[in-house]
Chain A
Amino acid sequence: MLRYFVRRLAASVLVVFGVVTIVFFVVRAVPGDPVASILGEQALEVDKQALRQCMNLDEPLLEQYALFWGDVLNGTFGELCGERGATVADKLVANIPATLQLAAAGLGVAILIGIPLGVVAALKPYSWIDNTSAVLALLGISIPNFWLGPMLLILFSLTLQALPNPGSSVAGLSALILPAITLGTAMSAKLMRMMRSNMLEVLNKDYVRTAAAKGAGRSRVVLKHALRNAMIPIITILGLQFGALLTGAIIVEKIFARPGLGTLLLDGIQQRNYMIVQGCVIFISLSYVVVNLLTDLVYGSVDPRIRYD
């Protein structure tokens, strides 16, 4: 068990090293003078020189790379030289809660819709409810979130006047409902399909038949014996789908004009501020790596048959 954890951890450390290296060198391949793109062509030579020095641009590339590792390891992701004393990490920290809230709400929608529908569909395979949810799942997978969002906005904001427009300042939970549905729909469809096939497989297992044979009630068999085992592979899917939630959040934040990491990233791209772009991409990827590491470790301890090779 410990051996598996250690090997899995070592593999993740290598991946983190790769991610930071790839992002650093890709961003340095951006043509043009980064200082000019931040300050503008008309900026004073003194200011340009100061910024160049602050961004370590006068150092050789490998030196810059080493300095950047220092910034990553001390958690600042580099100083934002345009703004006095601010670091990229400050910007990230300011935007993480909004994205986290959105991702959690989207995950909630996905789980609340996907898992019950999948279980019900598996309990009555080929019934009308199974067929309906199969069609819904296909639709859910095929509808792009950047279309679903505007459609929900048109439907609710215009027709029903029920929820606040994206521009309005009505805060609170209601402003989260449409973004969460937009983000969670595709994932709920995948969860539903996965849950259905897991349940169908588990329901045919000997231990479920044994439980039924010894006289356990239907609901007890389903909830205690079948569901708990069918849920185990879902852990892995949740980990893998976390990545889809993060990139989906970039799009959903744009649709609903929400603050967050995606908005920070897109603004950074627009302003060609590569410190921000670099920080966002590394941070988002690292959180994906960490979540996948955690799900693998949880999976490994829940199901002792899993071994890394």
Chain B
Amino acid sequence: MAYSEKVIDHYNNPRNVGSLDKNDPGVGTGIVGAPECGDVMKLQIRVDEGVIVDAKFKTFGCGSAIASSSLATEWLKGRTVNEAMQIKNTDIVNELHLPPVKIHCSVLAEDAIKAALEDYRKKHGEQAGTREPAAMERKH
């Protein structure tokens, strides 16, 4: 199966590989996996004043899973928490031209984003999607 050029680029030069301190209150961590293929993905965000200022990932899996999470970290930076909630796996599929058999890799990346946002919101005592965190943060 041939990978698209964009997948190969992310695979060879993954952006934002690494990790953030998961105990830091400003950091949200999402670890998700796909039992069928055994892939695991960790995605972390650092939030400052409701805006994602940094994102890191580490993925053990195929090229498409690595590319999907690499792309996700690129997209996350600079977005507000609520904007980040809007990222859909189909956006990743379109950007990377993933074939049907690789769509589950993009689903995994979306799950990782959601899990990281959820973790961040939990640390701040909110339910996902119920409050506008940007406004919340600024009141502090």
Specify whether A and B are partners.
no
Residues of B in contact with A (beta carbons under 8 Å apart): none
Residues of A in contact with B (beta carbons under 8 Å apart): none
